[in-house]
């Protein structure tokens, strides 16, 4: 551990010295009216417009500088989530204007501090939430969205940690009040959130976890859940065969017809939580038909029926909680608890595979195909595979993991786990 810490410290010092030397060289050019910071550029993934994979490219952008209350982070790794696919398609409420840099979480090393920042130092290893702009070599984000990385956590693990584990923890413990002896049904059990849910449930005695996943994932995740079903099977009957009353908590990232099925499985005083709508994503671009079909299949909830059956229905959006509803203090407390669980070796992010920025199209296609087990990570320092890089790179600036909807593919190959 001491050796690893020394190596990380050396790496940080070398990087800062390198950047400092670059600034000095640029600043000694005499006669230039521009500051060095004004001319620095970085690589970033750019979404030029909403649509298919061809809307993504790696471009040069002006490097941001921290404003008051912000930290500047030299990014090492970025998390790739299903919500990023929906953003690319424009399949979200009030989508932002394009062009934009996607991504909501990253990990890296603090390179500069804005005014009024306390509690962090240059060189600190951190993970962070970012309101877009995460898929870049450098990001700036408010200090309240930044958290120090445990000493033995890698950058790829850190980039896989915030979104998945905070989402899972909030739903289980803050919304549904998970307690000893309860039962949970989670869809997409092989994805990043699904695996986080399974790990957190294992920290409470006597919790039974029912999970659905494509059959080709079952061997890899069978030990993480109590009962595992094929996503194409009649899981309602399978659950009731084991537990006639149903379950205490349903975590649904699919929506559509699964909403009614989830509500039907709830025990009295049970809680159904919707935290995604991946059933709306079928093709490469936004589909009005898929949207309409998913909306039409959602069971219309009768409040009187909820009252009579003693059932609770809820929704959860971590990004809205952070960036629109101002609950960063709450999330900070949750992150502290999660880091403690990590240090106690009770939870650990599951990384599916690492991809270069230039391979973002292929990485996103893997999520679309529901081929990942755990989290996909964009590794900023990874060299791209030549055949992948050519289609995703430009030299100038330009304008919670789900399951198969096309049926299972028993022969689908996946990249090996990154240890």
| pLDDT tens-digit map of 142-183 | 999 999 999 999 999 999 999 999 999 999 999 999 999 999
Q: Is the pLDDT of residue 186 over 90?
A: yes
Q: Is 269 helix (H, G, I), strand (E, B) or coil?
A: strand
203 burial level (CB within 10 Å; 0-12, 13-18, 19+): middle
More confident residue, 278 or 302: 302
Q: Is 216 helix (H, G, I), strand (E, B) or coil?
A: helix
More confident residue, 300 or 295: 300
More confident residue, 364 or 407: 364
- Return the structure tokens found at 342: 């990590």
Q: How many whole angstroms separate alpha carbon 382 and alpha carbon 173?
A: 37
Residue 368: predicted pLDDT: 87
Residue 410: predicted pLDDT: 37
Range with top average pLDDT, 4-8, 88-92, 289-293: 88-92
Yes or no: say if 184 and 178 are a contact pair by the CB < 8 Å rule. Answer: yes
Q: Is the pLDDT of residue 231 over 60?
A: yes
Q: Is the pLDDT of residue 287 over 60?
A: no
Q: How many whole angstroms separate alpha carbon 63 and alpha carbon 22?
A: 14
Residue 414: predicted pLDDT: 33
More confident residue, 94 or 343: 343
pLDDT tens, 296-337? 455 677 888 888 999 999 999 999 999 999 999 999 999 999
Mean pLDDT of 269-289: 69
Yes or no: say if 104 and 134 are a contact pair by the CB < 8 Å rule. Answer: yes
Residue 91: predicted pLDDT: 83
More confident residue, 376 or 21: 376
Q: How many whole angstroms separate alpha carbon 4 and alpha carbon 11?
A: 11
**Strands 138-142 and 146-148, sheet pairing:** unpaired
- Return the structure tokens found at 261: 């099925």
Q: How many whole angstroms separate alpha carbon 78 and alpha carbon 126?
A: 12
Q: Compute the half-sphere exposure of residue 370: CA atoms within 13 Å on the CB side of its CA.
A: 29
Q: Is the pLDDT of residue 402 over 60?
A: no
Residues 6+ apart with CB under 8 A from 313: 263, 271, 272, 274, 301, 306
More confident residue, 305 or 75: 75
**DSSP structural state of residue 92:** S
Range with top average pLDDT, 130-139, 253-262, 300-309: 130-139
pLDDT tens, 377-393? 999 999 987 755 445 54
Residue 302: predicted pLDDT: 82
More confident residue, 409 or 142: 142
Residue 98: predicted pLDDT: 95
Yes or no: say if 97 and 132 are a contact pair by the CB < 8 Å rule. Answer: no
pLDDT tens, 14-49? 444 444 444 433 433 333 333 444 569 999 999 999
> How would you label 219-244 residue by residue, b for 16+ Cβ within 10 Å and e otherwise?
ebbeebbebbbbbeeebbebbeeebe
Residue 255: predicted pLDDT: 79
Q: Is the pLDDT of residue 401 over 80?
A: no
Full DSSP string of 373-401: SBEEEEETTPPPPHHHHTTTB-SS-----
**DSSP structural state of residue 175:** I
pLDDT band (50, 70, 90) for residue 284: low
Mean pLDDT of 398-415: 37
Average pLDDT, the chain: 84
User: Percent of the chain, pLDDT > 70?
Assistant: 78
pLDDT band (50, 70, 90) for residue 13: very low
Range with top average pLDDT, 25-34, 147-156, 226-235, 409-418: 147-156
Mean pLDDT of 236-259: 93
Yes or no: say if 294 and 280 are a contact pair by the CB < 8 Å rule. Answer: yes
**How distant, in Å, are the alpha carbons of 48, 99, 290 from that of 359?**
16, 19, 27
């Amino acid at each position: 551990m001491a050796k690893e810490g020394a190596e990380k410290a050396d790496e940080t010092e070398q990087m800062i010295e390198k950047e400092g030397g670059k600034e000095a060289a640029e600043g000694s050019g005499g006669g230039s009216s521009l500051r060095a910071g004004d001319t620095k550029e970085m690589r970033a993934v750019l979404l030029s417009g909403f649509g298919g994979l061809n809307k993504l490219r790696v471009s040069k952008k002006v490097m941001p500088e921290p404003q008051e209350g912000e930290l500047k982070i030299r990014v090492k790794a970025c998390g790739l989530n299903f919500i990023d696919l929906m953003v690319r398609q424009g399949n979200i409420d009030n989508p932002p204007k394009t062009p934009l840099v996607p991504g909501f979480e990253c990990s890296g090393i603090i390179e500069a501090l804005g005014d009024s920042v306390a509690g962090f130092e240059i060189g600190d290893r951190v993970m962070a939430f970012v309101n877009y702009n995460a898929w870049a070599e450098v990001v700036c984000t408010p200090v309240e969205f930044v958290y120090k990385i445990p000493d033995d956590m890698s950058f790829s693990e850190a980039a896989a940690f915030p979104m998945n584990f905070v989402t899972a923890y909030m739903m289980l413990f803050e919304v549904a009040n998970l307690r000893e002896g309860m039962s949970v049904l989670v869809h997409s059990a092989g994805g990043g959130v699904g695996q986080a849910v399974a790990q957190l449930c294992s920290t409470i005695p006597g919790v039974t976890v029912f999970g659905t996943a494509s059959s080709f994932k079952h061997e890899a995740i069978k030990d993480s859940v109590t009962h595992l079903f094929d996503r194409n099977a009649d899981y309602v009957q399978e659950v009731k065969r084991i537990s006639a009353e149903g379950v205490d908590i349903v975590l649904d990232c699919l929506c559509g017809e699964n909403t009614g099925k989830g509500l039907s499985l709830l025990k009295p005083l049970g809680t159904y939580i919707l935290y995604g709508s991946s059933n709306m994503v079928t093709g490469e671009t936004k589909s009005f038909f898929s949207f309409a079909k998913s909306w039409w299949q959602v069971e219309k909830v009768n409040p009187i029926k909820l009252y009579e059956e003693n059932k609770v229905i809820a929704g959860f959006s971590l990004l809205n909680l952070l960036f629109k509803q101002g609950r960063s203090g709450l999330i900070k407390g949750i992150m502290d608890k999660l880091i403690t669980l990590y240090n106690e070796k009770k939870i650990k992010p599951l990384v599916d595979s690492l991809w270069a920025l230039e391979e973002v199209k292929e990485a996103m296609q893997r999520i679309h195909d529901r081929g990942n087990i755990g989290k996909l990570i964009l590794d900023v320092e990874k060299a791209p595979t030549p055949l992948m890089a050519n289609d995703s790179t430009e030299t100038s600036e330009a304008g919670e993991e789900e399951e198969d909807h096309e049926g299972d593919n028993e022969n689908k190959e996946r990249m090996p786990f990154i240890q």
